[in-house]
Amino acid sequence: MTNPLLTGHGLPPFAEILPEHVEPAIEQLLQTVNAELTELEQNFKPTWTGLIEPADLLGEKLTWAWGIIGHLMGVKNSPELRTAYENSQPAVVQFFMRMGQSQALYQGLKDISAGTDWASMNKAQQRIIEAGIRDAKLSGVGLTGEKSERFNAIQLELAELGNLFSNNVLDATKDFNLDLTDPIDVAGLPPSLLAQAAQASRAGGSEATPESGPWRITLDYPSYVPFMEHSKQRHLREKVYKAFVGRAASGEKDNCGNIEQILILKREMAQILGFDSFAEMSLASKMAPNVAAVEDLLESLRKVSLPAATKERQELQAFAQSQDANFTELMPWDAAFWAERLREQKYDFNDEELRPYFPLEQVLSGLFGLADKLFGIEVTAADGQAPIWHPDVRYFQVKKDGEPIAFFYLDPYSRPGEKRGGAWMDDCVGRAKFTNIEGVRLPVAYLVCNQTPPVDDKPSLMSFGEVETLFHEFGHGLQHMLTTVDYAGCSGIRNVEWDAVELPSQFMENWCYHRSTLLSMGKHYETGEPLPDHYYDKLVAAKNFMSGSAMLRQIHFSWVDIALHHEYVAGAGRTANDLRLDIAKKTTVVLPIPEDRFLCSFGHIFAGGYSAGYYSYKWAEVLSADAFAAFEDAGLDDPQAVQATGRRFRDTVLALGGSEPPAVVFESFRGREPEPTALLRHSGLLAS
């Protein structure tokens, strides 16, 4: 049969790809690449064109096909696709293990680094080769016999467990519905959520209207978050909260055992390679030099944020009691509700008031205008010019000096039935140029969000948090798309240390509070009225509302992650959740409730790339805040200064990719090493 997954290059033909294509395509591709790897191992020359480029090209078709399948698992999940993915995954993992552990290729890399051509290579080429040698060691190239067999068996099992973990979270999220019929039960809910809840109810088979219901509340973020912020029914908030924090923690979808097994296997894998813990193994390829450096950063931020968070909670408790004479103790399901009420009182607005001013199309217009101003790029719609996987998916072209330099997909809306939660950027096609292939292959990015979808006749009206998320993912996309590096091994986000990769994304979030940027994208979807100035002033004033609590939350997650992967020993008398509760004593103001099994849905570290790396958000936020401070220093109201600084950011942080160490790239932009002052100032915590 003609199998679209065998194309091997270009844009994925999504409309043609079916689950039944997966297994035969992967089987055929693996036969080909295994034969090609054998040929390369026997006949390469220890030079750039004799080894590095052929090795890059060798896996291209398989990586292309497997990347598409993995993408569809995230955005168009189905039982049939899961089965095909699970059946194919072991053989794919085995091939990449074989390639990573190839003694011949490893020796070839070492020969190049020790050879006469080394001095004539540029820094990017040298960095790729050095990273290849390091990664081969981390892949187990030095292992033999039983150790090698066990190491490989662990990798296969971890791949399977990560996939199972992710599927359990998706299914557990999808399984919960709270169907409400009594108008009393939806008291306080904003019109946008009532319309969305009625639409969800209609999707379940009812004849619902926003005015009369029934209304369906789910655990998907666009439903869960506004419900927790606005529902006046405390018992319903409690029910929804407990369901959310208890996802995938019981029954057939219980991830508790998977967590323990994942941690056991990761520790064993690291020890086989000679590391004391998986955290040490993880940090071997990151900016942070060791676990102590990570803990020092987290502790320095904890000392500042814990007193602030404690004060914020006391204020929230007092406020709730002042508003409700019967209120006693602030519980976790109360925090978002009363915080929103306090914010309304302090700053005279709530998030729902802003939604009509942030229709997706207008936000995109403002975002693309900012990108042009800062980086000299033109982003235009290219819908209809690329195959898509869902009717809501958009396609865009990026031009510089009138010439196309990149493209990206945008999949903006929540689809809880088939799409995993959260937001992410991924590599569809990476920029590359090969010696024997004409032209430069232009990059294509996937930008995936889970924002509020259009409801009835209204467009997607975004919360301000959803606007920030879009800017965040676009920042990741910019680093992928604006790279000027032509080597496949370090263009865009490739070969960028994990704890630096959040720099561009978190940097872009700062512009959501920039007056001209915010006003350019804030226009009422019905009247075209610009966002009133007083809303901008209130947003800026409220920017650091509860910022101590927000920072402490991230520190808690980061510390739990690093401790689980460094000091925790599964099966030694306490569970991963026990360790989390111990850490919570110093990183939370109130301990988690017994039903809180957040770890069971913590996909970042158990089914994603953030194992022993969740601290990266804070590590990179020091860099991103200091990077934005360069624009503040130059003068945010000076268009020429902003443009000049933006071009410098483009030509360093966004252009250089993984061709140089992140510290060197940052210093090229900033002219000095990073300082944490800007992060504390932006968070309103500098005085602490």
Flag whether pLDDT at 119 surpasses 80.
yes
Partner residues linked to 209 by β-bridges = 213
What tokens were used for 574?
Answer: 């306490």
> Region 434-461: what's the mean pLDDT?
95
Whether 688 has a pLDDT exceeding 60, the answer reads no
Token digits of residue 422 = 């959260």
CA distance 106 to 684: 49
Q: What architecture is domain 355-494+502-507?
A: 3-Layer(aba) Sandwich (3.40)
Give the strand pairing for 394-400 and 403-413: antiparallel
Q: What is the pLDDT of residue 1?
A: 55
What are the structural domain ranges in the chain?
Answer: 4-142, 176-247, 355-494+502-507
What whole-number percentage of the chain has pLDDT above 70?
Answer: 100
pLDDT digit string (tens) for 2-16? 899 999 999 999 999
How much is the pLDDT for 59? Answer: 87
Indicate if 355-494+502-507 has the same CATH topology as 4-142. no
Residue 473 catalytic?
A: yes
State the catalytic residue, choosing from 473, 509, 621, 660.
473
CA-to-CA separations, 657 to 127, 470, 486, 504, 651, in angstroms, rounded: 12, 21, 10, 11, 10
Q: Note whether 651 and 660 are within 8 A (CB).
A: no
Helix (H) or strand (E) holding 425: strand 424-429
Q: Which residues make Cβ contacts (< 8 Å) with residue 581, sequence separation at least 6?
A: 591, 592
SS (H, E, C) 324-354: CCCCCCCCHHHHHHHHHHHHHHHHCCCHHHH
> DSSP per residue over 172-215, as a string?
HHHH-EEEE-SGGGGTT--HHHHHHHHHHHHHTT---BTTTB-E
Q: Which of 40, 558, 512 is nearest to 301 (CA)?
A: 558
Residue for token digits 């020429």?
640
* φ, ψ (nearest 5 deg) of residue 406: -170, 170
Averaged pLDDT for residues 510-514: 97
pTM score, whole prediction: 0.96
Q: In the prediction, which pLDDT does 436 show? A: 84
Q: What is the pLDDT of residues 529-544, one digit of tens each?
A: 999 999 999 999 999 9
Give residue-wise pLDDT tens across range 463-511.
Answer: 999 999 999 999 999 999 999 999 999 999 999 999 999 999 999 999 9
Is residue 31 within 8 A of residue 37, CB to CB? The reply is no
Q: Which residues of 676-688 are buried (b: 16+ CB within 10 A; e: fewer)?
A: bebbbebbebeee
pLDDT band, very low/low/confident/very high, at 572 (cuts 50, 70, 90): confident
The whole-chain average pLDDT of the chain stands at 96
Q: Find out whether 470 and 508 touch, Cβ atoms under 8 Å.
A: no
**How much of the chain is helix, strand and coil, in % rounded to 5?**
60, 10, 30
Residues whose CB is less than 8 angstroms from the CB of residue 630 and which lie 6 or more positions away in sequence, other chains included? 645, 649, 669, 670
What share of the chain in percent tops pLDDT 90? Answer: 97
On the CB side of 204, CA atoms within 13 Å amount to 21
Q: What is the pLDDT of residues 330-379, one digit of tens each?
A: 999 999 999 999 999 999 998 899 999 999 999 999 999 999 999 999 99
Q: Structure tokens of 239?
A: 């029910």
Best CA proximity match to 560, nearest among 500, 515, 516, 600: 600
pLDDT at 250 over 80: yes
- pLDDT tens per residue, range 43-89: 999 999 999 999 999 989 999 999 999 999 999 999 999 999 999 99
> Residue 22: which of 71, 77, 74, 66 has the closest Cα?
66
- Residue 686: the pLDDT is 83
- Report the pLDDT value the prediction gives residue 476, as an integer from 0 to 100: 98
Please say whether the structural domain 4-142 has been given the CATH code 1.20.1050.40. yes
Sheet with strand 403-413: strands edge to edge: 377-381, 394-400, 403-413, 444-451, 424-429
pLDDT at 351: 86
| 416 pLDDT higher than 80 | yes
